[in-house]
Structure formats: structure tokens, C-alpha cells
Amino acid sequence: MAVELGTGVPWIMCKQDDAPDPIINTCNGMRCGETWKGPNAPNKPSIWTEDWTSFYQVYGESALLRSAEDMAYHVALFIARKNGTFINYYMYHGGTNFGRSAAEFMITGYYDQAPLDEYGLLRQPKWGHLKELHAAVKLCLEAILSSFPTMHSLGPLQEAYVFSGDSGTKCAAFLVNRDNSGESVTVQFQNLTYQLPPKSISILPDCKIVAFNTAKVSTQFNTRTYRPVFKFDSAEKWEQFQEVIPQFGATTVRSQTLLEQTNTTKDVSDYLWYTASWEQESEEQQQAKLSVQSLGHVLHAFVNGNLVGYGHGQFRNTTFTVESKVALNKGTNQISLLSATVGLPNSGAFLERRSLGVRSVMIQDSQGLKNFTDFSWGYQVGLLGEKLQIYTSEGAKSGDWSRLSSSTQQFTWYKSIFDAPNGDDPIALNMGSMGKGEAWVNGQSIGRYWVSFHTPEGVPSQTWYNVPRSFLKPEDNVLVLFEEEIGNPLNITIDTISITKVCAHVTESNPPPVISWRKYGTSKDHKPSKRQKHGRRPKVYLNCPPRSNISKILFASFGSPSGNCDDYATGLCHSSNSKAIVEKACLGKKKCTIAHSYKKFGRDPCPGLHKSLLVDVLCG
């Protein structure tokens, strides 16, 4: 079918090794240089359609952190081993699942660990290390485009992939060390000796000099800071509206059995109310046991207007059972079950067969077990607040708003007003004091929040929620929340986000920056010579974000500082004038460069020892 459309461009199939001609089979994943079989025909290019820079995060699970070193290693390996011709980073820029667009259990922030984060800020060192990798590959371009790689063994887990044309004038090599045991190895290549760190690839644009090593990060690290600029800490700043719990008699949709949720709601709301009413023949009020089995994702159970139970599933295991003791009245009893979805399934076969919502309802009392599964049920799709659209400026007028109560309750709508923060830094709502629900700014949903569903480390999967400045007016912006659980809106803050700290750490074994390679000289016919030169020493490059300069040197050590940019200390070897040298070179400037050289620091603080340079600064 695809071919018969006659588009005039090639079609690709991701993760389909047997894609029929002329469809191009490609690879998705994090290690396509290792896991992919390669093109299934000699006339097809090697394409990596999705190089996952991280992975989407779901509520209840921690973020997957993929290092800059790992990303660079696998990109270089794909080029060398698979003769890779195209690599697409997924995602290169993180984003936000606004509204109800997030898939099943997926958090609102999307790929925040990408080289450009959710807010568009550089995530260093990923962004810079990949930039260096790309520059190193570009230095090899003529050799790569004029030949196919040949593999030469350098050891049991070491090999060289050499791109060299028939004329031999162009040569580039990728020296690969697949050993990840923790020790560097020494290899011989073309009569020269090279040190290869564990699980690393050295790129030699001229088959002689190392321009880049995937495990050696020279790029700066940065720290993202959230600064509260507005607090919703006064009850006078809030109004609330209590969601109504429907009863069977008020519903218009009826069925003699429990309906599947997504087929009933048609995805117009996350919420579906299941209601039923029955007569209890006992002479007095009695205790009973309610058991509700749900296919997902969340359930709140009410009996006679009282919340009696709550439960939720989790990613890839959405089913759960809510069991609780309930008090039944003599005569009429009402049961209201609010089933909530947290996104729809995002992949897999037979999506149309996936089911969500309430599956069975049982009540055990003194008279025995009553099965309410095949019973007369009434349904209400969505919430009253959704129907009234009280999250919009017009809809809010129809809501019965009141002053913020001193006692918080479930199923409450909250409304407040705020002005846009000054400047143009990204903005986020700190929702750490809330439970689960959805938030709107000026009628536009900024997504679901679920702060109460913690990771295995005991912290929320997401606390800050992106508010694009394009959603805002200079003044009188309306924030509306729907809170399913019990949250405290008085502790919500509006924070601005910026890069406030940058740090770099290089050793004498780091290659000099790739940018230091330059074509120089001219030939007899005045055309540029193809010879290349490179900088001799590694360097620390520090660069603050726009409209900020280096305001303070937090740490500087030339010698043997321990740790890394996250956690460091002065080592036994230390040049005492390190901080003074760095202050002179960097303080008050937007960016600065410091060479890894004992001459730069006056003398060699410990002759014979390998030295490194670590500098950490504040930007302001």
C-alpha cells in the first residue's frame, strides 16, 4: 500500500528487520550499534530513526538518566560498526504533555533529560558533549563518505574501524573499547600507542591524533535552579467550589451491567461515575464489606455520600481491588464510584481490546454476598466542573465559589489570580503540596498532576509543572485546579527556572577541544590546504546563560581534586593560587577559558603526578 501511493520518497519501517523492498528497515533504541542487524539489502542505508536520549517517565517510577558518555559512545559505534548514515535523536528537545495528551500513567513533563530540557534550556554536559562528537565526526567526513569501514582487531574486546579510500589520502579511524570492567587498556594502532578508557571510542580524523573520546567529557556541567517568585500562601487569594457526588436518580445513562470506561466516555473526560441504588432489608444499620475490582486506573468509592475507599493501579499493571468496611442504612442505600483514567495506552497490539474502568462490585453483609456486577447502573461522564467549564473565565461565573475553607476536602476546585513574573525565564508551578488532579491557566490546561504517587525513592515523580509564558497575560492570570485528593493550595508557588551554576572538570588525558582543530595554509594554487592542526592542551570552558556573568568562584583546584562537578573536594595535590588565577580569568565575564597547564598556575604543584583542573562558578 505504501509503495502504491507513489510518494516519490523512500518509506521506512522502524524496528522491522524484514521490511520488504523498497522499504528501508531502521532501528529504534539506545544501542543500535550493538543490537541492530543492519540493513536487509546492500542498497539500503543504515538509519537510526530514534536514538532515545532518555525515556518517558511514568508516575510511580524514577526518571531514566542516560549519560552523555553513553549517548556519544553508541552514536560513534553506530557510525563505525554499522556504517551509519543518519541518526535522529528522540527527543533532542524535551516537552510538556499539556491537557490530557499524556499517555497511560505518563507524567506531564516529557523527556526533560534531553539535551534541551522541557523548558528549552541546555542540559549540560549532554548538549555540549554531543556537539563535540558531531564536530569530531565532521572532521572525518571526507574519509567516511569515500569508503566503507574495515575492522581490525586490537584486543579481545577492542577493535579499530578504519575509513580509508583507495588512494589512501583520506583516513579516519574509530578505536573502540567494549570492555566496561573499569580499567583503561593500551592498544597499538598503526605503530602508535593509545590509551582507551572503559567503554569508550576514540575518534582519529587523520588515523593518528585523537580528536575526541566518548568517555572524556570536557564540556561544562550546569545546575538548574527553581526560584519562588510568588506564593499563594493566603486564604484570601483562593476560592473553592465543591464537586457534586452524583446519585443514581440524577443519572440519565443507564445499563444493566458495568460498562467499559473509554468506550463510554469517548475520551471527553478522564472521569466516569458509576452509581447504583438498592434497598437494604435489615432492621437496623449494619456493617458490610465492599469489594470493587477495577481494570484501571484510579477509583474513589462512596457509599451513602461518604468516601469509603480509594485505590489505583500502576504502569503495566493497571488492575487493582478496593476493599473497605461500609455502613449500610436500613432502606435505601447509594453507591457512587468515580473511576479515573490517567491517559490512554500509547503502544502495543490490539489497542481496541484494552479495557478500563470498574469490572465487578461485591458487598458482603449479614445476609450473604451480593453481586452488583449485573445490576442497574447509572452513569455520568465527567465532572460537574468540567461540564460548566469553570476553569475558563466565562465558565467560572457559573460556579458556586466560596472562600477557602480551613478544612480541605477531596474533589475540590480551587481558583486564584496572579500576575506574570518579570523577565523571560521559564516558569513552573511548584505543586509539591497537592495530591492528584489537573491544572488550568487562563483556561488552558497545563496537564495532569499526581504528586502523591511517589517513586521507589519516596519522592514525587514530578513536582514542577511548566507554565508557558505564551499562556500568560501581564496581570490577572487565572489559575484553576481540580484536586481529587486532599491537597494544600496555600503552599503552591510560582517559580522561575534558570541556570545559576556551571562547572567543568578536565584532566591532562582529555583531548583538546575539537573546535581547536583548524584547516590552515594554502597550496600552490592558493586553495586551502587539507592539513589540519589542533590545540595541544585540554581546556576548561565556562559559559553563563544570556544576561548573566560569572559572579563568584565557588571552587577551583589545579592538582588532584577528588570527585566531580556534583561533589568535589581539594586533593593532596593542589595549586594554592588556583582560585586567584581563575578569578582573574573569569570573574565578571560571561565566559572564560582556562588551559590545563602548570605554567598557567605558576608551577607544577606535584611533579610526576597526573593532574586535573576543576572549576565551579555561580552565574548571576
In the predicted structure, residue 295 carries a pLDDT above the cut 70: yes
In the predicted structure, residue 460 carries a pLDDT above the cut 70: yes
In the predicted structure, residue 530 carries a pLDDT above the cut 60: no
DSSP lists the bridge partners of residue 200 as: 177
In the predicted structure, residue 528 carries a pLDDT above the cut 80: no
Per-domain boundaries in the chain: 11-213, 226-242+386-497, 255-382, 499-619
**Which pLDDT band, with edges at 50, 70 and 90, does 535 fall under?**
low
The pTM of this model reads 0.93
The pLDDT of residue 529: 45
Contacts (Cβ under 8 Å, ≥6 apart) of 1 = none
C-alpha–C-alpha distance, residues 166 and 156, integer Å = 28
Edge to edge, the sheet with strand 46-52 lists 12-14, 24-29, 46-52, 84-90
The pLDDT of residue 521: 37
**Which pLDDT band, with edges at 50, 70 and 90, does 407 fall under?**
confident
The b/e string for 569-599 (b: 16+ C-beta within 10 A; e otherwise) is eebebbbebbbebbbebbeeeeebebbbbbe
Average of per-residue pLDDT across 515-529: 51
List, for residues 243-281, the tens digit of each pLDDT value. 999 999 999 999 999 999 999 999 999 999 999 999 988
Q: Do the domains 499-619 and 255-382 match in fold? A: yes
List, for residues 228-239, the tens digit of each pLDDT value. 999 999 999 999
Contacts (Cβ under 8 Å, ≥6 apart) of 546 = none
List, for residues 204-218, the tens digit of each pLDDT value. 999 999 999 999 999
Q: At 208, phi and psi to the nearest 5?
A: -130, -50
Asked if residue 539 lies in contact with residue 218, where contact means CB atoms within 8 angstroms, the answer is yes
Task: Provide the 8-state DSSP code for 32.
Answer: H
The pLDDT of residue 527: 45
List, for residues 477-513, the tens digit of each pLDDT value. 999 999 999 999 999 999 999 999 999 999 999 999 8
C-alpha–C-alpha distance, residues 112 and 102, integer Å = 14
Q: Taking the mean position of all CA atoms in its chain, how far away is CA 566?
A: 20
In the predicted structure, residue 517 carries a pLDDT above the cut 90: no
User: Which three-class secondary structure string do you get for 78-134?
Assistant: HHHHCCEEEEEEECCECEECCCCCCCCCECCEECCCCCECCCCCECCCHHHHHHHHH
The pLDDT of residue 367: 84
Average pLDDT value over all residues in the chain: 94
If you count them, how many residues does the chain have?
620
| CA diameter of the chain | 111
Grid cell locating 4: 502504491
> Looking up cell 483514567, which residue turns up?
341
| DSSP string for residues in 398-412 | GS--EEPPSS--SSE
Q: Which long-range contacts (CB under 8 A, 24 or more apart) does 16-21 make?
A: none
List, for residues 329-381, the tens digit of each pLDDT value. 999 999 999 999 999 999 888 998 999 999 999 999 988 999 999 999 999 99
Asked if residue 471 lies in contact with residue 426, where contact means CB atoms within 8 angstroms, the answer is no
Asked if residue 514 lies in contact with residue 138, where contact means CB atoms within 8 angstroms, the answer is no
- Provide CATH code, domain 226-242+386-497: 2.60.120.260
Asked if residue 381 lies in contact with residue 268, where contact means CB atoms within 8 angstroms, the answer is yes
Contacts (Cβ under 8 Å, ≥6 apart) of 38 = 46, 82
In the predicted structure, residue 401 carries a pLDDT above the cut 60: yes
> Looking up cell 572524556, which residue turns up?
216
Q: H or E segment at 414?
A: strand 412-418
Identify the CATH homologous superfamily for domain 499-619.
Rhamnose-binding lectin domain (RBL) (2.60.120.740)
In the predicted structure, residue 524 carries a pLDDT above the cut 90: no
The pLDDT of residue 522: 39
Pairing, β 46-52 against β 24-29: parallel
The pLDDT of residue 284: 76
In the predicted structure, residue 221 carries a pLDDT above the cut 60: yes
List, for residues 145-169, the tens digit of each pLDDT value. 999 999 999 999 999 999 997 666 7
Average of per-residue pLDDT across 18-24: 93
In the predicted structure, residue 34 carries a pLDDT above the cut 90: yes
| DSSP string for residues in 292-305 | EEESSSEEEEEETT
In the predicted structure, residue 74 carries a pLDDT above the cut 80: yes
Percent of the chain with pLDDT over 90: 89
The pLDDT of residue 266: 97
Name the CATH code of domain 255-382 (choices 2.60.120.260, 3.40.1010.20, 1.20.210.10, 1.10.3720.10): 2.60.120.260
Classify residue 484 as left (phi > 0), alpha (psi -120 to 50) or beta: alpha
Q: Taking the mean position of all CA atoms in its chain, how far away is CA 615?
A: 28
Helices 68-81, 126-139: axis angle to 10 degrees equals 20
DSSP lists the bridge partners of residue 52 as: 90
Taking alpha carbons only, the member of 280, 282, 319, 322 closest to residue 300 is 322
In the predicted structure, residue 612 carries a pLDDT above the cut 90: yes
| DSSP string for residues in 129-168 | HHHHHHHHHHHTHHHHHT---EEEEEETTEEEEEEE-TTS
C-alpha–C-alpha distance, residues 401 and 242, integer Å = 8
